[in-house]
Amino acid sequence: MSEPQSALGNPVFEGFATVREIGPIGMITLRATLSAPVLAKALAGVGLALPAQRRILRQGARAAGWMSSDELLILLPHSEVPEVLASLSKALQGEHHLLADISDARAVFRIEGVKAGQVLAKLCPVDLDRLEPGELRRSRAAQVACAFWAEDDGFTLISFRSVAGYVMGLLTHSAQTGSELYSA
Amino acid sequence: MSTRLASGGRLIDRKTTQKFTFNGTWLSGFSGDTLASALLANDQMLVGRSFKYHRPRGILASGPEEPNALVNLGRDDRLEPNQRTTTTPLFDGLQATSQNHWPSLEFDIGVVNNYAARFLPAGFYYKTFIHPRAAWKHLFEPVIRKSAGLGRAPKDRDADRYEQAYAFCDVLVVGGGIAGLQAALSAGRRGDRVILLEQAAHWGGRAPVDGDAVGGMAAGDWLTAALEELHALPNVTLRAACTATGVYDHGYVLAAESLADATPGDGRPRQRLWRIRAGRIVTATGAIERPLSFAGNDIPGVMLAAAMRDYVVNHAVSPGDRTVIVTNNDDAYRTALVLRDAGLAVPVILDARPAPAGPLVEAARARGIRIEAGRAIAKVQGGKRVTGVQICLQAGEGAVLEEISCDAVAMSGGWSPVVHLWSHCGGKLNWDDRLSAFLPDPARPPLNHDGRAMVTPAGAAAGIFEPDAILTSGEVAGADPDSLGEVQDELLARQSVVVPPVWVMPQGARADLRAKMWLDFQNDVKVSDVQLAAREGYESVEHTKRYTTLGMATDQGKLSNINGLAVLAQALGEDIPQVGTTTFRPPYTPVTLGTLAGEARGEIFQPLRRTPVHGWHESHGAYFEPVGLWRRPYCYPRSGESHADAVKREVLNTRAGLGLLDASTLGKIIVKGPDAGRFLDMLYTNMMSTLPVGKCRYGLMCNEQGFLSDDGVVARLDEDTWLCHTTSGGADRIHGWMEDWLQCEWWDWKVYTANLTEHYAQIAVVGPKARALLEKLGGMDVSKEALPFMAWSEGSLAGIPARAFRISFSGELSYEIAVPASQGLAFWEACLAAGAEFGISPYGTEALHVMRAEKGFIMIGDETDGTVTPLDLGLAWAVSKKKADFLGKRGMERNHLSSPDRWQLVGFETLDGSVIPDGAYILAEGSNDNGQRNVQGRVTSTYYSPTLKHGIAMGLLHHGPSRMGEVVEFNKTDGGTVKARVADPVFYDKTGEKQNV
């Protein structure tokens, strides 16, 4: 068995913010009626709670993010995916739902530093000053879909795996030292 | 002559000298100069030639309205044409060349046009060059293009980088003069999130130059205090050197920020495009001084009066020793005072008004400056620079009363508020008779989503010119825009500024004078041209603009529009408001294309989608082709091998032994739920609900019109889960299509979908030795019994979790193996390593195409083009006759689509073995009403078949399937034809034995 590889092999770029491709990170998509009591129970069974609209709720190494009115994104260590999938699947038996491992459909980036938000402000049409704590923001980075949230003095951004190189290129271009948008 | 004054210069630093070249000559200026002020300081008054007549032109203005002084800035990969010297900051090493002259600026052959001006009237190319028709293309157009035109287009790739950025605010204030600063202060004090933009590098607008008292303080002191307070407000962002270029719906504003224009190569982006979403917008964009229309008003040395005092006060540059001032308003008197203060001579002020009065007039009179009321300039004397003026009565026809020698003329025809941004989204204008200007009508603003005013004008942009009134106007615009209309009316009524209309000087000027009065300096449009257009029947200002080219140059008529339409109104005998303005469109000033493109160039010009094996393809010399945003290997040429030979080898190797294809780009969509079967039965033309678990089925999707839209193999994963494979290009579209139907039409059906395309690498293992390879990799039973044709199973291969589909797009024994993308490359390499003994070789999309064509398999996008139905392609077997409904069913039943007269799919074998050209038509007898040859069909796929060793093709032919064996003719690109026999489209292994072993 070979080790799972992230899309880019974890390059790092140091500019006025630090950009890193991280992962592979486990991701599960869960589509279901979010208000169903059985869903909350199923989430609790894997140590998670239902996030509010447009929020991401972290519990240790795992997190659940609200993607749409009937879709959650579960983040977890890559190796725990089969176990959590099985547990959720069992708990949701009888309830109309869809569970799928999408870990490898995605690339994950960290943008870190005091000015990390300025990197995103060049790429995403998002009012970052109004980004709430724990908000999971689905947007776009220039020409491709992305989602991001603030976490640990920076942002975590996910994109589709096939465009990981493009997204790294965007982030690198936007984080060049000297191109800061604001002095602080 | 123009020169640097010994002292003064608000913006320059005399300790920092900066050297630059103009037309190859080294000159020097100071830090803080603009290119224009530095040129003037070096007595470079002649800076360009005009567009049409190649007349000598000098610097006219001091801001973005400059029509004449445009240069090619930089060179090679940093060359940018049409750059305004007046807004270009000087920097050490700057290189500029003048435009539109040949062979040199000083001596220009094109100036002969000047003497032939009577043959180049308004609309000359519509008149002169109509006959003979052929001459336009071959003679007139090339000559005109050579003699006209402004700067040279750069040839090299732009060396600089650019970027975009998004910003959000409650109030966006455009313009950093007194009005804008006050608006930002009042909105900022209320706690609004404010962005304040100023196009220049300095704050304060005209106030520091004009020296008015503001709010009881000296302008400079007020400015310092205001900036200090604004900088201290955390909710206010100030950005200088940033021009708001356009206002769009819903408070969306584009602004271009200059970052490294003056420090090329410093590593920063040269410019940045701001994409701002504002709750509302305050336009404190000031006003632009208008030229006066007198003969010779374009001769170098004639300058706008306010621009002249800008150069004196800001840059300590004197445009001339003796300056005649000509005006119809008080403001130009400031220039007389400034020139006098600088020790320069003002021999006379020619005031077109019969009885000028007021504090500025009195101040000039008190200084002993000669003021001539009711006088005008009959003609400016001089060629490449002003040598004097002839004076006449404004009321007369131009009889010369007196000649005065001078080396500069300062003119002021009043001020036009900058209403561009107000107007971009539909703000309406009123004509103000007192100011002789169009002003924003507060009652008819551009509206926001909520019906409220999206744009609020303030200060001079609203026609308010007196400092304390400007303060009030800014205050109200920033804090209380709803009451603005009322306040503005009151401020306008109170102010003493009056500008009487003076559109032609002298008002009864003779024809020879009118033919030398420039309206549009950049496009060489004169008073006589607009009058001619009116005589020829042009009544609409929009038509006149296009006929005469008035206002169509890179300055978009900033100086010429009002004068031009006033002349037109006069010629038509109408009032100016009846004639109206042309439409104000973004951008306010030209924006470099690189800035608009932002980061989207080079590697990140557009997203390039890569499969997990992409890097391997690259490092193994794959020749790529674009498939959507993916790049897929077309073939893998070996050294010295042509692409055609590589394809041939890949096909033969796969058919005889073992091939490997990266099929990761195929769409993979999970559809799950109690209603999933029902849903798929609606989406596909055939039945999917009956597919047994563990099996695969090929399916077709149509749009509602009944045209084929996508195809692919569907696998049933469990009782309520299906996996739908789509075409590579169709994955996102079909997923969207599914969600569209689920969310909008069948919202009560219990179905969920997930697009897992990128989660899997999908590798096709193809050829007679495919099973042997998988058995060698080991981990799951891939025997015919355990995994028969059109079945799938799950397990692991080479230690990697895998799902194996027994499906074939080549006609060979074939498995498509889906593995997690994170292990896709590992699986690919494991296959290559283990397959070496079987002679494995990867193959690209062209070999895939050849093999599928040999088998008669259709390809979406080749056999289909949005007008082809499954029935056209002989796929009736895949269109259910039992289902009550499916998408496209009713469409297909329409009489045109169900007609037996349609072109239908057949195969073709050329008689001579050659390959039919792509896109060839099948000829029919006779020709149509347009004299075109009749056709009866066309080729859809055409290849050389290495397996059969001759050309094969598929195509659509009228009544095709009933014409087997018939010989038809295809046209060729060389004009000849090629004969081909109509055949079964399945050329290879018609019984399908090879894929089913």
Give the residue-averaged pLDDT of B428-436: 96
pLDDT value, residue B184: 98
CA angle B991, B994, B997 (to 5 degrees): 115
Question: In this structure, is the dihedral angle defined by the CA atoms of residues A78, A79, A81 and A82, taken in order, positive or negative?
Answer: positive
Residues A81-87 have a mean pLDDT of 98
* Residue A36 neighbours by CB under 8 Å, 6+ apart: A95
What is the average pLDDT across B775-802?
Answer: 97
Higher-confidence position of B63 and B480: B63
For B311-353, the pLDDT digits (tens) are 999 999 999 999 999 999 999 999 999 999 999 999 999 999 9
Angle at the Cα of B632 (from B626 to B636), degrees rounded to 5? 120
Q: Give the whole-angstrom CA distance, residue A180 versus residue A150.
A: 19
Please, what CATH class does the domain formed by A25-104 belong to?
alpha beta
CATH number of B889-997: 2.40.30.110
**CA-to-CA distance for B557 and B555, rounded, in angstroms?**
5
What 3-state DSSP class applies to B950? strand
CA distance B208 to B9: 12
Mutate to test the interface with A, among B160, B164, B166 (most CBs of A within 10 A): B166
pLDDT(B148) > 60: no
Q: A130 and B610 in contact by Cβ < 8 A?
A: no
The tokens 């995605």 sit on which residue? A106
What is the structure's pLDDT at A1? Answer: 54
For B352-367, what is the mean pLDDT?
96
Question: Chain A residues with CB inside 8 Å of B167's CB?
Answer: 121
Cα–Cα distance for residue pair B868/B863, rounded to 1 Å: 8
Note whether B80 and B592 are within 8 A (CB). Answer: yes
To 10 degrees, what angle do helices B731-740 and B676-683 make? 120
The b/e string for B806-832 (b: 16+ C-beta within 10 A; e otherwise) is bbbbbbbbbbbbbbbbbbbbbbbebbb
pLDDT, position B865: 95
Q: Where are the domains of chain A?
A: 12-23+105-174, 25-104
What is the rounded distance in angstroms from the CA atom of residue A1 to the CA atom of residue B898?
Answer: 54
Model confidence over B690-718: pLDDT tens digits? 999 999 999 999 999 999 999 999 999 99
Domain A12-23+105-174 is in which class? alpha beta
Find the closest chain A residue to B265 by CA distance.
A178
Q: Which residues of B touch A129 (CB under 8 A)?
A: 168, 193
CB B447 within 8 A of CB B247: no
- Which residues, 6 or more positions from B720, have their beta carbon under 8 angstroms from its beta carbon? B672, B673, B674, B676, B677
CB–CB of B290/B511 below 8 Å? no
- Among B267, B753, B758, beta carbon nearest to A178: B267
DSSP SS3 for B177:
strand
Å between B851 CA and nearest CA of chain A: 27
In the prediction, which pLDDT does B124 show?
64
Paired with B708 in beta bridges are B702
Q: Do domains B160-288+415-499+591-601 and B300-408 have the same CATH topology?
A: yes
Q: How many residues are recorded in chain A?
A: 184
| Euclidean distance between CA atoms B175 and B282, whole angstroms | 9
Q: Smallest Cβ distance to B599: which of A125, A126, A170? A: A170
Strands A144-150 and A154-160: antiparallel
- Find all residues with CB under 8 Å of B638, minimum gap 6, and list them: B621, B646, B649
3-state secondary structure of B129: coil
* pLDDT at A118 (0 to 100): 98
What pLDDT is attached to residue B114? 67
Prediction ipTM score: 0.97
Distances (CA, A) of B17 to A133, B3, B30, B93: 51, 16, 5, 11
Residue A86: the pLDDT is 98
Query: Could you give the count of Cα atoms lying within 13 Å of B437 in the half-sphere of its Cβ?
Result: 27
In this prediction, residue B776 carries a pLDDT of 98
Amino acid at B395: A
Fold adopted by B607-842: Gyrase A; domain 2 (3.30.1360)
Task: Say how far residue B522 (Cα) sits from the centre of its chain.
Answer: 23
B8-to-B314, B606, B782 alpha-carbon distances in Å: 8, 51, 90
What sign for the dihedral angle of Cα A46, A52, A56, A58? negative
Q: Which amino acid is at B220?
A: G
The CB density around residue B127, as the number of other CB atoms within 10 Å, is 12
**B72-107 pLDDT per residue, tens:** 999 999 999 999 999 999 999 999 999 876 667 777
Torsion of CA B533, B534, B536, B540, to 10 degrees: 90
| Beta strands per DSSP E along B249-356 | 252-258, 271-283, 287-289, 302-304, 317-318, 323-327, 349-351
CA of residue B884 relative to chain centroid, distance? 49
Asked if B821's CB is within 8 angstroms of A31's CB, the reply is no
Residues whose CB is less than 8 angstroms from the CB of residue B131 and which lie 6 or more positions away in sequence, other chains included: none
Can you tell me whether residue B940 is helix, strand or coil? strand
Q: Could you tell me which of B729, B727, B713, B726 has the C-alpha nearest to residue B631?
A: B729
If pLDDT is split at 50, 70 and 90, which confidence band does B153 have?
confident
Proportion of chain B above pLDDT 70, given as a percent: 96
Which residues on chain A are in Cβ contact (under 8 Å) with B161? 173, 176
Task: Check A122 against B165: CB less than 8 A apart.
Answer: yes
pLDDT at B143: 65
Q: Which site among A122, A158, A167 would you substitute to test the B interface, given the most B Cβ atoms closer than 10 Å to its Cβ? A: A122
Amino acid B268: pLDDT: 95
Report d(CA B303, CA B660) in Å as an integer: 74
Do residues B516 and B526 lie in contact, with contact meaning Cβ atoms separated by under 8 Å? yes
What gap in Å lies between CA B644 and CA B943, rounded to an integer?
10
The predicted structure's pLDDT at residue B105: 75
Q: For B194-301, where are the alpha helices, taking DSSP H only?
A: 207-210, 219-232
Contact B237 A96 (CB under 8 A): no
Residue B820 CA: distances (Å) to CA of B508, B664, B797, B799, B814:
85, 10, 12, 12, 20
Question: Tokens 């976490």 map to which residue?
Answer: A151
Q: How far apart are CA B779 and CA B27, in angstroms?
A: 79
Distance of CA B306 to the CA centre of its chain: 34
pLDDT of residue B144: 64
Phi, psi for residue B801 in degrees, rounded to 5: -60, 135
Mean pLDDT estimate for chain B: 94
A residues 83..122 contacting B (CB < 8 A): 96-98, 100-106, 121-122
Superfamily for B160-288+415-499+591-601? Answer: FAD/NAD(P)-binding domain (3.50.50.60)
| pLDDT score, position B434 | 95
Do A169 and B760 count as a contact with CB atoms less than 8 A apart? no
How far is B926 from B936, CA to CA, in rounded Å?
11
Give A157-182 pLDDT, tens digit per residue: 999 999 999 999 999 999 999 999 99
User: Quick check: B800 and A105 CB within 8 A?
Assistant: no
Question: Would you kindly state where each structural domain of chain B is located, as residue ranges?
Answer: 3-112, 160-288+415-499+591-601, 300-408, 607-842, 889-997
Which residues of B fall within a CB distance of 8 Å from A123? Answer: 599
Mark yes or no for CB contact B673/A98 under 8 Å.
yes
Q: How many angstroms separate the first and last alpha carbons of chain A?
A: 47
Separation between Cα atoms, residue B284 and residue B482, nearest integer Å: 16
Note the pLDDT tens digit of each residue in B582-616: 899 999 999 999 999 999 999 999 999 999 999 99
Closest CA to B804 of B821, B786, B822: B786
Q: Which two tokens stand for residue B627?
A: 């498939």
Q: Which H or E run contains B94?
A: strand B94-98
Contact B382, B324 (CB under 8 A): no
Determine, for residues B165 and A121 on separate chains, whether the beta-carbon distance falls below 8 Å.
yes
**What per-residue confidence (pLDDT) applies to A171?**
98
Name the band, by pLDDT with cuts 50, 70 and 90, for residue B539.
confident
Q: CA–CA separation, B15 vs B93, rounded Å? A: 17
Q: Under CATH, domain B300-408 is a member of which superfamily?
A: FAD/NAD(P)-binding domain (3.50.50.60)
Select from B266, B754, B825 the Cβ nearest to the Cβ of A31: B754
- Tell whether A166 lies on the interface with B, counting CB pairs under 8 A: yes
Option in B163, B599, B758 nearest A162 (CB) = B758
Which of B166, B604, B823 comes nearest A169 by C-beta? B604
Say which CATH topology domain B3-112 has: Ubiquitin-like (UB roll) (3.10.20)
Q: Which residue has the tokens 């950009």?
A: A19
Q: Do A29 and B754 touch (CB under 8 A)?
A: yes
Q: A173 to chain B: nearest residue by CA?
A: B599
Token representation of residue B508: 């009864």
Q: Mean pLDDT, to the nearest integer, of A110-126?
A: 98
How far off is chain B from A59, nearest CA to CA, in Å?
25
- CB atoms B166 and A124 under 8 Å: yes
**Does A174 contact B754 at a Cβ distance shorter than 8 Å?**
no
Neighbour-count burial of B310, counting CB atoms closer than 10 A to its CB (0-12 exposed, 13-18 middle, 19+ buried): buried
Instruction: Please give the Cα distance from B662 to B678 (Å, whole number).
Output: 32
Mutate: best of A181, A182, A183, partner B, most B CBs <10 A? A181
Cβ neighbors of B776 (< 8 A, separation 6 or more) are B834
pLDDT at B120: 66
Residue B805 to residue B666: CA distance in whole angstroms: 13
> Tokens 């897929």 — which residue?
B632
Q: What is the pLDDT of residue B104?
A: 73
The minimal CB distance from A4 to the residues B277, B799, B820 is found for B820
Which value, to the nearest 10 degrees, does the dihedral of the CA atoms of residues B212, B215, B216, B221 take? -70
Q: What does the pLDDT look like over A14-69, one tens digit per residue?
A: 999 999 999 999 999 999 999 999 999 999 999 999 999 999 999 999 999 999 99
